[in-house]
Structure 1
Amino acid sequence: QAILVGITNVVFTLVAIALIDKIGRKLLLVIGVSGIVVCMFTLAYQFNAATYTLTAQSLAPLASSIDITSLQTIIGTTFTSDLTFKAALLELLGSTQAASYESSLVAAAIQMNGAVILLSILGFVACFAVSLGPVMWVLFSELFPNRIRGIAISFVGLINSGVSFLVQLLFPWELANLGAAFTFAFYGGFALIGLAIILKFLPETKGKSLEELETILIKD
């Protein structure tokens, strides 16, 4: 899966490079961010529809590392939320064991359409790589006036890195406390807001010189 993600990222970044001067920056962003919205809400739907059921058969490979006798009370019980399933594990195993084996137990219990999940993740990577990943950096070099371009791009880069840091910091907490379905729906909502901003406010910069763009933007 990691190899597929890496290959998808590289291939669609090359696609963006090939198309950015042909179909324009704005259209690439609209296509890519629309795809991100679809992928995020698909992930949210799939995780919302997932169920979690531990069986004696699914626990057998974990018997050597986990005291499965403490889980007897929930074997065969179907949970409709990852949050309630994790809460049950915490109550039965205690905080230390629950933290150590939670991912293994979730993998053993979860019932969902794994192919759709993987395709949605790859789709997100592809849509990001063809749009927000490379295109925004091109736009940053075109939208700011010449007199502040260097400082502005540095500042935007700082903000971008800060937001990326916060997402990576908060994502595990969101999964643990809000659930996977809500977490992906949350990011899908942000992508939808971003798409609306792109459609309403972003000018097309393809084929325009920096001087022309500065005149247009100052006028607007």
Structure 2
Amino acid sequence: MIKNIQGHDTKKTIRKIAVISTLGGLLFGYDTGVVNGALTYMKRPDQLNLSPTAEGLVTSSLLLGAAFGAMFGGRLSDKYGRKSVIKALAVVFFISTLGCSFSPTSNVIISFRFILGLAVGGASVIVPTFLAEIAPAKLRGSIVTQNEMMIVTGQLLAYVFNAILGNVFGDTAGIWRYMIAIASIPAVFLWFGMFMLPETPRWLAANGKVAKALEVLKQIREEAEAEAELEEIQKNIDEEKNLDKATFRELSTPWIRRLVLIGCVIGIIVQFSGINVMMYYGTTILEKSGLGTRAALVANIGNGITSCIGVLVFIKLLSDRFGRKRLFLIGLSGTTIAMIAMTIVTSTISKSYLLPVLVMCCTITYLAFYQSCLGPLAWLLESEIFPLRLRGLGMGIAVFVLWISNFLVGLLFPIMLARFGLSGSFISFAIFSILGFIFMWRFCPETRGKSLEEIEQSFREYKKPEKEML
């Protein structure tokens, strides 16, 4: 047991910090997942009477808000502190969640879902940053990836509560309001919990509060380790001050433009491969395949469980053992095959008890490949391909494109489903995934085991043959 100068177990302290702060990730997951079951009830004529377009807007307005929340959240946390902004996000989560649950019309819930998305997007950027700056280097990987685990756990909890409420109180008018309102509870815990946590040492040191930064480090490190880390933080801050900030004008440089383009396409691929069709519309898909609403809500829990297991498999077994590019291509192959199988099943089998069973098997196969490869790897690759000087510019553009792609999938799927049916919708995602596979096989760099400088040099030499460069 490693203790700090006050005699406290440092690992236990860090775990407490991780659990409280990742309630933001839990809210992220719950708020994106709850619509999966709630839509079935809110679109009824005696409730919000949603058209396919309105259904898509209710789902995707959160994602559009998340794109802007992600864009501005990081800047706000740089100015006001990670801790302060996370506390503010907890308030936004709470108010907008209640606003959604009490919404009298589709326009009102769309507006509140957009505001809720600002908090989701902010949390997607700031919580991992908070964890990375708190955790010691040897624990950083496992601590930061806890946020991803909390996101899928939040989605699983949404599916579980949807199933319980739908099966026990499914005939109650406005049951979807209770499904949504549950998210206000962890928002309260997040707000109160953040008062117990320190600001990150790096932000404190960067803002001239060196003594306070050392005080925080001594709470979560041994004394000698704390002093050494503070010196390293100050050295890195001084080095960053000497770096020229990358601007949009630098996109005219071919290797930088190519690098940012690859980062954007990674975000597009992981969204247009169809993941959030499963996460947002899983209950609708199962209903269309022949299951009743209550059975679909229960069956959808399997999607959440598969997602959690998939992320654990990546963290424990795959992340540091195989190349990023190989794992990405394996994951994309698996999800594409699952989509093609879904297309064949839904186009050749109808009005059979086998159809929902086969659809569920295809969905679980899809999620197993996605969550154990594509999902975690997308964020990992985005964080690795951008050198330090370009990270703010590159990540900002790439994450914004990722969220906009998420928004478009959430908006368009109900319209596609109404016009083309299940098979027509699924084959569209399969075709896009095949194109994504070709792009990633041709252009994705292998970053495992390479320094940021080596990755940057490979992009500077982009005119060399691809085999040599990658």
State the AA in 2 paired with 1:202: C
1:35-86: CA deviations, max 9, x gaps?
Answer: 011010111001111334xxxxxxxxxxxxxxxxxxxxxxxxxxxxxxxxxx
Shift of 1:199: 1.0
2:403 corresponds in structure 1 to 161
1:45 alignment partner in structure 2 = 344
CA drift at 1:112: 4.6
Deviation at 1:111, TM superposition (A): 5.6
Question: How far 1:151 moved relative to its partner?
Answer: 2.1
CA contact (8 A) 1:16 1:28 kept: no
8 Å CA contact 1:43, 1:117 repeated in 2: yes
Question: What residue is the counterpart of 1:11 in the other structure?
Answer: 309
1:213 and 2:455 are equivalent in the alignment: yes
Paired residues, number: 163
Which residue of structure 1 lines up, in the alignment, with residue 439 of structure 2? 197
Query: Matched residues, percent identical?
Result: 34
* 1:6-43 per-position Cα deviation (integer Å, ceiling 9, x unaligned): 11101111212231221111111111100011010111
The aligned counterpart of 1:73 is none
Are 1:40 and 1:185, in contact at CA under 8 Å, matched by a contact in 2? Answer: yes
Greater RCO structure (CA 8 Å; 6+ sep): 1
Deviates more, 1:5-14 or 1:111-120: 111-120
Q: What's the offset of the Cα at 1:168? A: 0.9
Give the match's secondary structure for 1:203. Answer: coil
Counterparts of 1:1-220 in structure 2 under 5 Å? 1-18=299-316, 19-52=318-351, 112-220=354-462
Cα deviation, residue 200, structure 1: 1.1
CA distance in 1, matches of 2:390, 2:445: 19
Counterpart contact for 1:33–1:128, Cα < 8 Å: yes
- SS of residue paired to 2:309: helix
Equivalent residues of 1:50, 1:111 under 8 A apart: no
Q: Structure 2: which 5+ runs fail to align?
A: 1-298, 463-470
Deviation at 1:191, TM superposition (A): 0.7
CA contact (8 A) 1:15 1:130 kept: yes
Distance in structure 1 (CA, Å) of the matches to 2:392 and 2:315: 23
Do the aligned residues in 1 keep the contact of 2:346 with 2:355 (CA within 8 Å)? no
Shift of 1:214: 0.9
Q: Match of 2:321, SS?
A: coil
CA separation in 1, counterparts of 2:312 and 2:460? Answer: 33
The CA deviation at 1:139 is 0.7
Residue deviations 1:119-173 (CA, integer Å, cap 9, x gap): 1101111111122211011111111232111221122111111111111111011
Give the distance between the partners of 1:51 and 1:113, measured in 2 at CA: 7
TM-score (norm 1): 0.70
Structure 2 letter corresponding to 1:5: N
TM-score, normalization by structure 2: 0.34
- The CA distance in 1 between the partners of 2:391 and 2:377, in whole Å, is 17
Amino acid across the alignment from 2:381:
L
Give the distance between the partners of 1:184 and 1:150, measured in 2 at CA. Answer: 35
Change (3 A) 1:3 1:51: closer
* Partner Cα separation in structure 1 for residue 425 and residue 300 of structure 2: 21
Contact 1:46–1:112, Cα closer than 8 Å, also in 2: no
**Alpha-carbon distance in structure 2 between the residues aligned to 1:13 and 1:173:** 30
The answer to whether the Cα contact below 8 Å between 2:335 and 2:370 also exists between their aligned partners in 1 is yes
- Kindly state the Cα deviation for residue 202 of structure 1 after the two structures are TM-superposed: 0.9
